[in-house]
Structure 1
Amino acid sequence: MLCRVALIDYYGPDGWGSQSPPLRQRQHIATELISRTLTARPEQPAAVLDVGCGDGSFLAHLASTVARPDVRWIGVDYSEHQLARAAELPYEFHRCDLGEGIPLPDVSVDVVHAGEVVEHLYDPDRLLEECARVLRPGGHLVVTTPNLHAWYNRALFLAGIQPIFYETSTRSTEVGAGPLRRLKSDTRPVGHLRLFNRTALMDLLRREGFEPLTTRGAGFHGVPSAMAWLDAAMCRRPSLASILVVLAVKR
């Protein structure tokens, strides 16, 4: 019998997300894709939804980049702490449990961004179903998520070491890390429940009514600096990249 998992606010006042990190490569790529989508139809007012918006800093970045006064900027998140910080921004925010749905009407937004969210959910199918519901016909979804088959994870599997991003403990990232424990000593679990490779992500998107248009690879800020050049090189092959970034259209 399946049961709901109790939600943990990893971004609360005692969590690791008390300060906004600098924009990551995946967010710069998402910005490019969203901006391109919005500027393709400048004559039509638009609504953009950031699912898992946190403190709203990425929405603020998008708004300053796109610079269209007619865009309605919306964010949803579970963390009360993060949304209290987001309330200082001039955008629309809602608190919700994504497992229960997105608190917006049907066909009410044009672009949805779900950055590093789908891997945190017990029911990722439900999230994509809800994204399709709130999007207008022909609307776009930009989703980013860690890649289970990143280049280093393929080697770690063969070595019998827990792959990066995959968590089996809510208390320690050192569980299963083997010789990588020394690199994990200052890190904490972030609540990853599901991990995807490129094929799995494409399959899930198509099952929930989307057609992938563009797949890009992004680097991971946690890769040791001596190997950052290799991580950057692997971004040219999204199936090997650390992070998957996908632009999809609602069918």
Structure 2
Amino acid sequence: MENNTDFKINYMNEFKSLFSHVEKMRNRYLNILSAHKIFDTISILSAPNIVGKEKAGENMKLFNDYKYFFITTKESCSFYVLIEIAKFFDNSLSSLTLNKIINFTESNLKKLSKNDFQIYHKNRGILPELFDKYQEFSRLDLENLKNNIKSKDKIINKLKKYRDQYLAHDDIKKIKVKISIGEVKQLMEIIEDFIELFYLRLDFSSNSYKDYVEEPEREIKSLIKILKENEKARLQKISKLYLQN
């Protein structure tokens, strides 16, 4: 466990401070979700077993016609997702990580009580019947999070090795590391569980991730449709000019 004294921030209010950091982590995670969905959508649209052989062939032709955009975009999204997820599970004393926030919270539970919550949110006008349902942080909350992270140690270590050898550096001698999409999603679920718990305990709220999953897919498909229509119009124009001549 990290030494909490390394969390070098002077906090006047634990609720405000923690929530500020969790908000930053949430924003990072939303970008991960978007990048992951862009990567996933491009992959699916070129998979014959998912969209069919004909449709996959059409999409692959388009991706090859605009290869400098689509290949770069897909690879960039893949790298971004892996690098950003690894940051959440890093051991650096100067980084904003899951364990750092969990450890700090654990050390300050007495200042994160239900009464402290009420004082901090006194101007929100939370209805008494809703406030009665509020539950403060418990050690069990934090233990469950730590155990969930611990249970994925093998995946986390693989991700860090992959990041260090292939993404952060280009090591000449590399240890072969394979990390699956399923394993990446397991780590994303842990991050999401962390964010939801802290939003519930610090802000008595939850998050919607719908737009960050649906919109990137919609935008990629819309872009592909526009490119196909433009290509069709271009070929029709060429054909018309040829027939005129």
TM-score, with length taken from structure 2: 0.24
More strand by share: 1
Query: Could you say which structure has the larger radius of gyration?
Result: 2
More helix by share: 2
Higher relative contact order (CA 8 A, sep 6+): 2
